[in-house]
Structure 1
Amino acid sequence: MIINILAGGPEELLPDFTDYTEENNIWVGVDRGVFHLLNRNIIPEIAFGDFDSVSPEELVFIERQVSKMKRYKPEKDETDMELALNWALAQKPSIIRLFGATGGRLDHLFANVHLLLNPLKEKNPASVYMIDRHNIAYLKEPGSYSIEKMKTKKYISFVPLTLEVSGITLVGFKFPLKNKHISLGSTLCISNELISDYGTFSFSEGILIVIRSHD
C-alpha cells in the first residue's frame, strides 16, 4: 500500500500527479491540500486540518465531497501534516509520499523535514519521501545503499541531519568519497552526480538526508 499526503504548499511546486497513480494508492488531504486534490478530481480517503487556510466557500465545497474529515482547533500540539503522517504510519504502508510540504513558510518546511524522523524513531519500516516539482528527499540511517540515475533529477546531495555522519563512502559518483566524516553544516556532499546507471553510498554513523534534484 502507498499513501500520498498532499498539504497546502504552493501549487506551482507540485509535481505531475499522473506519475503517482498506482492502483494501490490512498490519497490523504491536509488543510488546503484537500482543496488542491479536489480541483484535480482526486477525492481523498480522509482529510486532516484546522482548515484555516481555506475560505468558508471552499470549506463547504470540501465538506460536500469528502466523507471522512478530521477537524481540529488551530490551537493544538501537532501540525496538520504531523497528524496526517501519524495516521498514515499507523496504516502500515510500504511507502508514504508527502506533497505540498515545501515552499512558502520556512517554519513549515523545517517542521516537515524533521517529521521525516518520525518513522525512524518509531522503527516503522515505511519509506517516507518528500516530493515537489524539483526535488525528492528522504532520510537514511547507517548502512549501504544502491542508488539509480534519474534523467529528470541528476543532482544528488547528502546532507547530515545529525551532528556527525561518519564513514561516508560514495562509489560511482562524479566526486567519490571514501570513509569521510562530515558534520552538521558541511556542504561537502552537495550537488554530486552519478557517472553510471547505478552507484552506492554507505556510512556507519548518523542520519543523512538524501536529496535528488534538478534546476
Structure 2
Amino acid sequence: MIVHIVAGGPERFLTDFEEYETETKIKWIGVDRGTNYLMERGIHPDMAIGDFDSISKETLHALKDKNIHLLKYPSEKDETDMELALQHALKLKPEIIRIFGATGGRLDHFLANIQLFSVSAEKDPSISIMIIDQKNEIEIKNPGTFEIKKSSAKPYISFVPVTKMVENLTLEGFKYPLKNRHIFFGSTLCISNELIYDFGTYSFTNGILLVIRSCDD
C-alpha cells in the first residue's frame, strides 16, 4: 500500500498528481487546505484531517455527501495537522508515504516536518517517506545500500545528514564519488552531485540521510 498526504502549502509548488494515479492500492489523505487541492483535481480522499477553516463550504459538503472520513480537530492543539495525518498514515503500515504540499510555505512548518518525518523513518525503517514538489524530491533514508536512476527532470542529487553524523557514506557512479566517508551534520560536502551513468549506488552504515533530487528550472 502507498499513502499520499496532501498538505495545504502554496498550490503553485504542487506536482502533477496524474503520474501517481495509475498506481494501485493508494490511499489519499487531505490535510486541511490540501483536501481542497485533491477535490479540485477530482481525487476523493480516503480521509481528511484538520480544523477545516480553510476548506470551502462546497468542498466540505461534497466530503460529507461522499461519506469521506473526516477527522476534525481544534485549531489550537499540541500537534500540527501534518503530525496527526502522519500518525494515521503510519498506522496503515504502508510501504511508501509520499507528502505533497509541504514545501514553499512557512519555513517553521517545513523544518518541523523534516524532523517529524526523520523520527518516524527511524522508528519504522520499513516505510519509505518522501516529500515531493515541482522542483524537489526528498527521501528520508535509513542505513543500507540503494540504487538510484539518472533523471533529466531532476539531475542534481544532494545528500544531507539529519543526524549528528552519517557514517561510511559511499557514492558510486557519481561525478563526485565517495568511499566510506563520515559526513557530519552541517557539512556541505555532498551538495549538488550528479550521476555520470544511467544508474548509481549510495550506501551508509549509520545515521539518517536526506536524499534530495532537484532541478534549477
What's the TM-score once normalised by structure 2's chain length?
A: 0.93
Letter in 2 for 1:137: I
Q: How far does the alpha carbon of each residue in 1:106-154 deviate from its partner, in whole angstroms, 9 at most, with x for none?
A: 0111111112124334325221110000111111122221111122111
Q: Deviations over 1:37-88 (max 9, x none)?
A: 111111111100012334xxx1x22221223210001111111011111101
Aligned-partner Cα distance in 2 for 1:168–1:45 = 39
What amino acid is the match of 2:105? G
Unaligned runs of 5+ in 2: none
Corresponding residue number in structure 2 for 1:77: 78
Match of 2:12 in 1: 12
| Alignment RMSD (CA, Å) | 1.3
Does the 8 Å contact 1:116/1:138 carry over to 2?
no
Structure 1 runs (4+) deviating above 4 angstroms are none
Taking the aligned partners of 2:93 and 2:203, their CA distance within structure 1 comes to 27
Superposed displacement of residue 165, structure 1: 1.4
Check conservation: 1:119, 1:125, Cα contact below 8 A.
no
SS of structure 2 residue aligned to 1:138: strand
Q: What is the CA–CA distance in structure 2 between the aligned matches of 1:125 and 1:171, rounded to whole Å? A: 24
Asked whether the 8 Å contact 1:46–1:70 carries over to 2, the reply is yes
Q: Distance in 2 between matches of 1:34 and 1:95?
A: 20
Alignment of 1:135-146 (within 5 A): 135-146=136-147
Amino acid at match of 2:11: E
2:60 to 59, 63, 84: 63
Does the 8 Å CA contact 2:122/2:208 hold for their aligned counterparts?
Answer: no
Indicate if the aligned counterparts of 1:169 and 1:178 stay in contact, CA closer than 8 A: yes
Cα deviation, residue 213, structure 1:
0.8
- CA–CA separation in structure 1 for the residues paired with 2:211 and 2:129: 12
Matched with 2:103 is 102
Q: Residue 208 of structure 1 aligns with which residue?
A: 209
2:90 corresponding residue in structure 1: 89
Q: Percent identity?
A: 54
8 Å contact from structure 1 (residues 43, 65) kept in 2: no
Amino acid at match of 1:44: P
Secondary structure of 2:159 counterpart: strand
Do residues 195 (structure 1) and 196 (structure 2) align? yes
SS of corresponding position for 1:209: strand
Look up the match of 2:123: 122
- Any unmatched runs of 5+ in structure 1? none
Distance 1:124 1:167 in 2: 19
1:178 and 2:179 aligned: yes
Rounded Cα–Cα distance in structure 2 between residues aligned with 1:78 and 1:186? 31
Could you say if the C-alpha distance between residues 96 and 158 of structure 1 is closer, same or farther in structure 2, counting changes exceeding 3 Å? same
Tell me: CA distance 1:108–1:162, structure 2 relative to 1, closer, same or farther (3 Å): same
1: CA distance, partners of 2:196 / 2:122? 34
SS at 2:183 equivalent: strand
* Residue identity matched to 2:6: L
Q: 2:125 & 2:190 partners in 1: Cα distance?
A: 27
Q: Counterpart in 2 of 1:38?
A: 39
1:49 aligns with 50
Separation of aligned partners in 2, 1:117 and 1:2: 18
Counterpart residue identity of residue 211, structure 1? I
